[in-house]
Structure 1
Amino acid sequence: MNSSNVTADPPQGRRERNKQRVRDSIYYAAIELFADQGYDQTTVDEIAEKADVARGTFFNHFQKKEDLITEWGAKRRDVLREGLAAATETDPRRALLECMGLLADISLSDPALTRALTTAWVKAGYILQEEPYLSDMLGDFVVEARRRGQVPDSVDPRLAGLLLRDVYFGTVFRWVQRPEGESDLAADLHTACETVLDGIMPLSAHGS
């Protein structure tokens, strides 16, 4: 092979990849510690030590420990987007229930981490600052159901999305507060969501 024909990676590209690798190393070290010993019990120094970086390097990537909660939420949204993109259900009601199932699966994929960071997320007040991504997405299902005549025109999709979001967060938070194994998160979310849908989708078919 003629080395003159080989194009080297742009230095900036390599730097960005290295930067991302360090950030990922810090993040995954942190969530392992959070799951093992709890969010409040974990210090920045412990995270830096586990990630094998200097304390200052941690702050180059995350201004404060709470930013790791935001990162955790963003990664969960990415998983949800991927799951919804692969979904084939077209009926809005059943698709909404399927979405709740995906949300349950995401939380149950690492229950200890979900318990640790959900509690920290609420204590940090992030529930009051939550971006409207989830409520907007849930509201889109209601928009489609209304287009199909399954929801009365009097139902506001935006408010319905907010209600469904609150049902989701409330159900997860109650699950987090209970002793492990005492409740079934997936079943609780399904039941809670169906209860709301029975109110806002009285015209929809209930076959599922």
Structure 2
Amino acid sequence: MESASLRERQKERRRARIYGVAIELFKQGGFQTTTATDIAKASNVSRGTFFNYYPYKEAVLLDYGSAVVEELRALAESRLAEGTPPATVLQEVWMRLAEQNEHERDLIPPLAYEVLNPDPERARIAYQALPLGKVIEMILRPMQQAGQLRSDLSLSRMSNLIADTYLMIALRWSAYGGGRSLQEEMRLTLSFLMDGVMRR
């Protein structure tokens, strides 16, 4: 039993090392130019070992995105527990995500494309790894309970529409740029979206 536990810890450490090295290489040299062989070599593992942990290169980004969303969830829970109004919490979470994505601009397109992958299984895995809609749903629930949101759409649908819009705006911004920062684009986008979900 103890040896099995030791093996699990070793596997977790190896996965963490591969992940850390891969993200660093993506940031330094770009996602597209970094190969699985590059990651394996820099991690001191074989190419086969890399694929044992990550069946495709984009899967590393799903771990990255999952960690980002988990940080946002923790921030939202903390701010809501402090009594911060949900609309303010959503703005803070939204802008925190935009700030992070602005710094990691090259990682947005491959992550977004994975969510839109034509392979349904890969798209499903990506969608489950990046539950931004669930975080938004948690933030908006008190507003729904207070009767502040429109009632002709479910809370889940509104939350997913907001999350999906974030993804598409971030993808377009990272690909084409524009005169505004991503944070400014997202500030305007969130204002527009919230007008759409509030009860009139």
Using the size of structure 2 for normalisation, the TM-score is 0.81
Aligned residue for 2:147, secondary structure, equals: coil
1:156 aligns with 2:171: no
1:117 correspondence with 2:111: no
The answer on 1:92 being equivalent to 2:86 is yes
Deviation at 1:202, TM superposition (A): 4.6
> Once structures 1 and 2 are overlaid, which stretch shifts more, 16-25 or 90-99?
90-99
Of residues 85-94 and 37-46 in structure 1, the stretch that sits farther from structure 2 once superposed is 85-94
Aligned in 2, Cα 1:98/1:21: closer, same or farther, shift over 3 Å?
A: same
Aligned position for 2:40: 48
Structure 1's unaligned 5+ residue stretches are 1-8, 204-208
1:152, 1:47 → 2: CA distance? 48
Does the CA contact (< 8 Å) of 2:76 and 2:139 recur in 1? no
Aligned to 2:188: 191
- TM alignment of 1:70-149, pairs within 5 A: 70-87=62-79, 88-108=82-102, 111=103, 114-126=104-116, 128-129=123-124, 130-131=127-128, 133-149=131-147
CA distance in 1: counterparts of 2:96 and 2:15, whole angstroms: 27
The one-letter amino acid of 2:110's match is: A
Q: Which runs of 5+ in 2 are unaligned?
A: 118-122
**Contact 1:142–1:160 (Cα < 8 Å) also in 2:** no
Deviation of 1:192 (Å): 0.7
Which residue is 2:174 aligned to? 176
Question: What is the distance in 1 between the residues matched to 2:133 and 2:57?
Answer: 26
What is the TM-score with the length of structure 1 in the denominator?
Answer: 0.79
- Length, aligned pairs only: 190
Aligned-partner residue type, residue 104 of structure 1: A
- 1:48-89 CA distance string (max 9 Å, x none): 111111222212211222221222222222222222233235
Q: Residue 63 of structure 1: SS of its match in structure 2?
A: coil
Higher helix share: 2
SS of corresponding position for 1:173: helix
Deviation digits for residues 156-191 of structure 1 (CA, Å, limit 9, x no counterpart): 312211221122112211221245x95322222122
Task: Note if contact 2:133-2:162 (Cα within 8 Å) is conserved in structure 1.
Answer: yes
Percent identical among aligned pairs is 27
What's the CA shift for 1:126? 4.1
- Alpha-carbon distance in 1 for matches of 2:151, 2:57: 45
RMSD: 2.5
Rate the CA distance shift 1:124–1:139 in 2: closer, same or farther, 3 A. closer
